[in-house]
Structure 1
Amino acid sequence: MDTESLLHDLIEKALKKGADAADAVAATATSIAHAQRLGKMEKLERSEAHDMGLRVIIGKRQAVVSSNDWKADALDQLVDQAIAMAKVVPEDPHIGLADPDQIFKGPFKDLDLYDEVEPSAETLIERAKAAEDAALGVEGITNSEGAEADWSRWDIRLAASNGFSGGYQNSRHGVGVSVLAGEGTGMESDYDFHSTVHGEDLEDPVQVGLRAARKAVEKLNPKKGATGQFPIIFDPRVANSIPRHLAGAINGASVARGTSFLKDKLHQQVMSSGITIVEDPHRIRGLASKPFDAEGLKNYAKNLVDEGNLTTWVLDLRTARQLGMESTGNASRGAGSPPSPSITNLYIEAGAITPHEMISDIKTGFYVTSLMGQGVNGITGDYSRGASGFWIENGEFAYPVNEMTIAGNLKDMFMHLTAANDLEFRYGTNAPTLRIDGMTIAGM
């Protein structure tokens, strides 16, 4: 029996045994991972896995169970477990599948998310070796923390008793390396990586290695910067944390619980007027793209923030019902968990000025390339994180700095945000170089 038939059979059994509604998700995955250090292989693994999850709803109670055993008797037991659990859990007035007229009946957009070419183990070994060799060949690099190359593919299928049925395939190629520069107590490390849906889009591993080495060498002989309020520039590698903080604050689960610092800001200005933040689940070959959401609803591109104004929450069906709104098609789920709101491809639109122009008028400031710690309070917006990068004097990089702390409040940070014009799509969440004025920097 194929996966889709298994799902429908599971749902039918659940309905016959007392469920009022049910949905089921199946995921199958294959992956290969290679790791090496200083030219010596440390890992070469291939794995294949599958998982199936069933959600049953009885009245206003629901239960979710999952299993990686797809034999008939194991799935029968899965149904029995789900029914038994759903009869005893507390009621939740907001649960429920989509109405039949809400589900996405297609056609599903072809997002080119699947690369049919499976790389050989030799290809992955060559990618990792090329990245590490290139990095080790840079003057000042003295050691390696290792290089990795991997590949994976997976198939997602979803079916529900409301009539929805759909699925899609995805794939991923990746390569990365981490190296050290300097000697003894003065050593500094850094890394770089690249990940794509299609192998043909993967960056030359040599360039990945050279960039990792350059970053490590540039960090040698760091100092401490000054303490005070100065402009901060976020390198694109860390700038993408800013839209992620926004996404967390407008997640329907946080808003419904009243635990978001933006809970009262819908349709108000929350960022500087030049900032637009887009979520696009249909980005072709996007790292977080998908043709429909995890409740079988149509998903779509939207401006979460439009010229500084907050336009929407990020909602699934449950949180939409809690808030008296409509789902935004942002449900996500695993085999063993119910749906919850989540973002797909997210990015801050590029601004009009270059990074050089953004930095040129800064007399004293901090260019951040690395962030440490999780010091962000989603309830108050308070922000405090360790940081390293480069001290700016008179519009130029003066010297590397580390063991710094940057602090502020996200509400103020958002309102003092400026975006440069160097947006690149390298991750699931992307941002150009960003400038925030008025944050506190603690150094010497």
Structure 2
Amino acid sequence: MTQSPEQLCQALIDAARKAGADAADAMAAEGSSLSIEVREGKLEHAERSEGVDLGIRVFVGQRQAQVSSSDTRPDTLAAMAERAVAMAKEAPEDPYAGLADPAQLAQSWDLDALELCDSAAEPAPDALQADAIAAEAACAAVDGITQVQSAAAGYGRHLVHLATSTGFSGGYARTARSLSCVGIAGTGTGMERDHDGDSRTFQSDLRSAEEIGRTAGERAIERLNARRPATGAYPVLFDERISSSLIGHLLSASNGAAIARGSSWLKDSLGAQVLPTGLNVTEDPFRPRISGSRPFDGEGLATRRRDIIKDGVLTGWTLDLASARKLGLESTANAARGIGSVPSPANWNIELTQGSASREDLIRDMGTGLLVTSMIGSTINPNTGDYSRGASGFWVENGEIVYPVNEVTIAGNLLDMLKAIVPANDARTHLSRIVPSLLVEGMTLAGN
């Protein structure tokens, strides 16, 4: 008889105890995914996967080991536990390893309020194919598009369960529906490409295929005949499409694992001003229908809403149990993990305070500078915050966009950049990271 993820987790923990583990936790994920790609109105690629993945982490004293498998047979579960215990006995001691105390564990949660799973039936392959074809057709219909590189639609549903030998047991199901398109404009060395896409928990929230395809095509056309501006120091406006990367660098630097290693440009900034006054960075794991929402973390602790930055001031680190113990602090319930990996700190849904000005207002007020819409590569010094990335977008003169730009490098220091950001009011509120377009004054631009 097929066992549920909850039953599989409990069977793994029982097997670990029998094999000699002092403590253990287990994860099981059961799900399916379907993806469709089309080209020139015909099916190009279809892929469907179904399965169950299992992971067991065991502790022998202060030594731990992790083993994973996709085989759910009882003898395999026993072999996994025995192998994990044998590995743990040979592992080095870690004074910070260990499960949460029972008093730290989440006791109850409201899954209905989170709306993590669409109750609608899984879409048929024909329906996904029709969406991808519609997106491709809308892109191809844009005047100047020479080719649609790809159009794809996908769906996934997964049930995840976590259990520990200290009494925690909890799980939830997630769904995801996606649609994307990439258009190409121009020919030869003058070709440019751009894309658009959407990913939602509920099918009914997904943007239309026609809008996605058309937007991908229009973006590609806008990039034609790009130039390189003169090298110098200019204001740079990070478009909302990519502005969350700046806040992502801040979140990485405030990650407890980096702080515990001493390899973070924010390590001496706790309680200090890191953003302009009036700006908050808020983490909220309880937003309905959002991919970053969850009732508990990867160690069974109840998640909670918190201000990582309040009025521009860094209030704390992002911690799992191990990094919190290293720093002599309490976990912020931010442990993330995969089936085959041990927990590590990660952020859930993030929101940066939006400004009062529109994106167009910031373009008008920046005078001469660069509007960045895409970036490639990354050179960021984790200890100093020195920042350098390849960028493309649009050149702005006298407050107006005058021509597309590519093959430039923008550089600065994240500590200085973030303290001077000016946010617009154009963030998409359905994303897991709600970050508007961000204006940064005086960055170095390497062009001609």
Q: When the two structures are superposed, what TM-score results if normalisation uses the length of structure 2?
A: 0.97
Q: Paired residue for 1:401, among 398, 405, 415?
A: 405
Residues 275 and 417, structure 1, Cα contact 8 Å, conserved in 2: no
2:204 corresponds in structure 1 to: 200
Equivalent of 2:37 in 35, 44, 53 = 35
Tell me what 1:52 maps to. 54
* CA spacing shift, 1:79–1:143, aligned 2, 3 Å: same
Do residues 237 (structure 1) and 248 (structure 2) align? no
Aligned to 2:103, the other structure's residue is in SS state coil
Runs of 4+ with >6 A deviation: none
One-letter code of the match for 1:347?
Answer: E
> Cα deviations across residues 289-341 of structure 1 (Å, max 9, x unaligned)?
11110100010111111121101100000000000000000001111111110
Any unmatched runs of 5+ in structure 1?
none
| Counterpart mapping for 1:38-437 below 5 A | 38-110=40-112, 111-116=114-119, 117-437=121-441
- Alpha-carbon distance between aligned partners in 1 of 2:111 and 2:358, rounded to the nearest angstrom: 35
| Code of the aligned partner of 1:139 | D
Percent sequence identity is: 47
Tell me if the contact between 2:159 and 2:173 (Cα under 8 Å) persists in the aligned partners.
Answer: yes
> Does structure 1 retain, via aligned residues, the 8 Å contact 2:117–2:202?
yes
Contact 2:145/2:185 (8 A) holds in 1: yes
CA contact (8 A) 2:42 2:133 kept: no
Paired residue secondary structure (1:146)? strand
- Alpha-carbon distance between aligned partners in 1 of 2:11 and 2:30, rounded to the nearest angstrom: 18
Q: Which runs of 5+ in 2 are unaligned?
A: none
Shift of 1:274: 3.3
User: Does the aligned pair in 2 maintain the 1:372–1:386 contact within 8 Å?
Assistant: yes
Once residues 11 and 142 of structure 2 are traced to their aligned partners in structure 1, the CA distance between those partners, rounded to angstroms, is: 58
Check whether the contact 1:274–1:418 (CA below 8 A) recurs between aligned residues.
no
CA contact (8 A) 1:292 1:298 kept: yes
8 A contact 2:5–2:30 mirrored in 1: no
Number of equivalent positions: 444
Give the CA deviation at 1:426: 4.7
Partner Cα separation in structure 2 for residue 390 and residue 248 of structure 1: 28
* Normalised TM-score (structure 1): 0.98
**Residues 5 and 29 in structure 2, CA contact (< 8 A), matched pair in contact too:** no
Partner of 1:18: 20
Whether contact under 8 Å (2:109, 2:295) holds in the other structure is no
Summarize deviations over 1:61-105 as a string: whole Å, max 9, x none.
011111100100111100100110111100000011010111001
Q: Which amino acid counterpart does residue 425 of structure 1 have in structure 2?
A: T
Task: Give the C-alpha shift of residue 183 in structure 1.
Answer: 2.2
In 1, the alpha carbon distance for the partners of 2:14 and 2:190 equals 64
1:3 aligns with: 5
Cα deviation for residue 179 of structure 1 reads 0.8
Aligned-pair CA distance for 1:109: 4.0
